[in-house]
Amino acid sequence: METMMRASVLTGPQTIELQERPVPEPGPDEALVRVGSVGVCGSDVHYYKDGRIGSMVVEGPLVLGHEVGGTIIAVGQAVDPTRVGERVALEPQRPCRRCRPCKTGHLNLCPNMEFFATPPIDGAFCDYVTLPADFAHPVPDSLSDAAVGLLEPLSVGIWANRKGGTVAGSRVFITGAGPIGAVAALSARAMGATDIIVSDPAESRRQRISELASARSVDPTAGFDPSEVEADVFLECSGATPALLDGLKALRPGGSAVMVGLGDEHVSLPLQDIAVREVTLTGIFRYVDTWPVAISLAAGGQVDLDALVTARFGLEDVEAALTSDSDPMSMKSVVVVNEDS
């Protein structure tokens, strides 16, 4: 067993260094995981480019990456030792388990949460990570390493649709045909939505998402009247304020809007219209209990995560991976840490 490992570290503004670090040791309830594949998330890009997301600020060296698949290579004393060798998807959160949110089904809102790649907690652009063993979810061999990592963004899509109340027969309106819009649409489809409409100004992206998720698509800049949509659920996945305003108009009375993409800090909203139509507006933050369903959907073929991957990089090229989203047709870049995890 090695004692040192590679870690790709954000050491300063837009500066990534490949460093040597000690391999971490699993605590009693933890698993040590050899990292296979890690997807690149918009939040990684934000920390790399801006050094912060809202009130969360990078103040020291930070390992990014939280969309992780790998293999358990050791476990703590309180963990079933037969789990060594298991291929797993990592749920990258470590809630306290003792606060009221944790004990009532809202662990995503735990005030003591430690979350991968959120300052000052390190993420997974490195060879080995530890995590609570119950947050390492076993996956079938039929899923590729990249797909295992992308169960994390799929979880975001599932959680967004749960918050929005997507059910069989729902009409779901999605703004933004990037990676978040894609997992939102794929999740909506898997949850039984029978009409999914994605709005994006770029034709090439509209075309791609229509194929990926059996969605209709619309160009918001070309005479589109959102008030004719009458959606049950609206998932804002672009971060663009005009998209948010479109989506609110696109909802039927009593419909639900969910902010999934990170948008402007303050936005002027048509509150009287929201009130008299009893529209509901909320956002999402992490997720609760999404891996079991995400794994089932991916393993059962309802969702094809490999189709989302548009570029692959090695651990030595994390910086290139973090800037690869400048291509508007980029969907998901993946860092392959260990080929044969």
Residue 85, helix vs strand vs coil: coil
Q: Does 263 bind a second copy (CB under 8 A)?
A: yes
Contacting range for a second copy; rule: CB under 8 A; set: 44-52, 116-124, 142-150, 289-297 = 289-297
Q: Does 17 bind a second copy (CB under 8 A)?
A: no
Secondary structure letter of residue 24 according to DSSP: P
Q: Does 269 bind a second copy (CB under 8 A)?
A: yes
Q: Does 28 bind a second copy (CB under 8 A)?
A: no
Whether the CB-CB separation of 248 and 270 falls below 8 Å is answered with: yes
Strands 280-283 and 251-259: parallel
CB 137, min distance to a second copy, A: 11
CA angle 244, 247, 248 (to 5 degrees): 90
Residue 155, helix vs strand vs coil: helix
How far is 278 from 272, CA to CA, in rounded Å?
10
60, 81, 223, 292: which one binds a second copy (CB under 8 A): 292
Nearest to 71 by CA among 37, 40, 101: 37
CA dihedral 107, 113, 114, 119 (to 10 degrees): 130
How far is 88 from 341, CA to CA, in rounded Å?
10
21, 83, 216, 277: which one binds a second copy (CB under 8 A): 277
CB 192, min distance to a second copy, A: 5
Nearer to a second copy, 22 or 270 (CB): 270
Per-residue string for binding with a second copy, 197-236, x by CB under 8 A? ----------------------------------------
Question: How many chain residues touch a second copy (CB under 8 A)?
Answer: 66
14, 15, 22, 285: which one binds a second copy (CB under 8 A): 285
Contacting range for a second copy; rule: CB under 8 A; set: 2-10, 139-147, 163-171, 322-330 = 163-171
Q: Does 105 bind a second copy (CB under 8 A)?
A: yes
Residue 301, helix vs strand vs coil: coil
Q: Does 174 bind a second copy (CB under 8 A)?
A: no
Q: Which residues contact 293 (CB under 8 A, 6 or more apart)?
A: 158
Backbone angles phi, psi at 228, to 5 degrees: -90, -5
Q: Tokens 């995400």 correspond to what residue?
A: 294
Q: Does 274 bind a second copy (CB under 8 A)?
A: yes
Q: Tokens 């709005």 correspond to what residue?
A: 199
Q: Does 114 bind a second copy (CB under 8 A)?
A: no
40, 117, 174, 191: which one binds a second copy (CB under 8 A): 191
Q: Does 100 bind a second copy (CB under 8 A)?
A: yes
Residues in the chain: 341
Positions touching a second copy (CB under 8 A) are 29, 54, 97-109, 111, 132, 134, 158, 161, 163, 167-169, 187, 190-192, 194-195, 244, 253-254, 259, 262-285, 288-289, 292-293, 296-297, 300, 302
